[in-house]
């Protein structure tokens, strides 16, 4: 089924792109969430106007992401967790923990934008990558300390 994407969909495409997907994926996920519209002849004619609007929106979002990235480079987070011998944590530090710590400092960043390869399970200092935009990312310094 041919669709025109209205929003960026990870691992599928970007706004304004024409994609061919399974009918069930379109009917059950993309269309109800207004992430895409059908590629009818009328919508194909409107596609150029839509692409111009998407380009403006993209420029604004990228600028906002760059400003936020500059602010985030100076941010450091300290979390205290219970740990056993050999500095192993009881549990782990996940992207949602990092998101909550950033929210406490006034930065509202969704946990899905924080790209941890694996949850953190040891004490120490870490550089946490945050993908703010398709082309803009930042790193935040995280320190995990032992709870006394």
Cβ-proximal residues to 23 (8 Å cutoff; 6+ apart), any chain: 1
Closest CA to 133 of 116, 115, 119: 115
> Are residues 24 and 58 both part of a single domain?
yes
> Are residues 84 and 58 both part of a single domain?
no
Owning domain of residue 40: 2-62
> Are residues 130 and 74 both part of a single domain?
yes
Q: What is the CATH number of the domain that holds 33?
A: 3.40.5.10
In tens digits, the chain (148 residues) has pLDDT values of 899 998 888 889 888 889 999 999 999 999 999 999 998 988 888 888 888 888 888 888 888 888 888 888 888 889 888 888 888 888 888 888 888 988 888 888 888 888 888 888 889 899 988 888 888 888 889 999 888 7
Q: What is the CATH number of the domain that holds 76?
A: 3.10.430.100
What is the per-residue pLDDT for 19? 93
> Are residues 78 and 133 both part of a single domain?
yes
> Are residues 34 and 56 both part of a single domain?
yes
Q: Which of 11, 42, 62 is the last residue of a domain?
A: 62
Pairing of strands 137-146, 76-81: parallel
What is the per-residue pLDDT for 26? 93
Within 13 Å and on the Cβ side, how many CA atoms surround 101?
20
Residues in the chain: 148
b/e map 109-129, b = 16+ CB within 10 Å: beeebbebeeebeebeebebe
What is the per-residue pLDDT for 132? 85
> Are residues 81 and 140 both part of a single domain?
yes
> Are residues 32 and 84 both part of a single domain?
no
Phi and psi of 58, rounded to 5°? -60, -45
Decide if 68 contacts 54 (C-beta within 8 A): no
> Are residues 140 and 101 both part of a single domain?
yes
Specify the number of domains making up the chain: 2
> Are residues 135 and 95 both part of a single domain?
yes
> Are residues 22 and 56 both part of a single domain?
yes
Q: Which of 46, 62, 78 is the last residue of a domain?
A: 62
């Amino acid at each position: 089924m041919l669709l025109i994407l209205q929003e960026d969909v990870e691992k599928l495409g970007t706004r304004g792109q024409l994609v061919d997907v399974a009918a069930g994926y379109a009917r059950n996920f993309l269309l109800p969430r207004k992430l895409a519209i059908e590629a009818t002849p009328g919508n194909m004619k409107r596609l150029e106007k839509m692409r111009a609007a998407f380009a403006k929106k993209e420029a604004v979002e990228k600028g906002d992401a760059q400003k936020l990235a500059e602010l985030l480079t100076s941010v450091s987070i300290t979390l205290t967790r219970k740990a056993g011998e050999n500095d192993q944590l009881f549990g782990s530090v996940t992207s949602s923990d990092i998101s909550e710590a950033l929210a406490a400092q006034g930065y509202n960043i969704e946990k899905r934008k924080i790209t941890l390869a694996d949850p953190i399970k040891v004490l120490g200092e870490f550089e946490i990558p945050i993908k703010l935009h398709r082309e803009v990312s930042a790193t935040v310094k995280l320190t995990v300390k032992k709870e006394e």
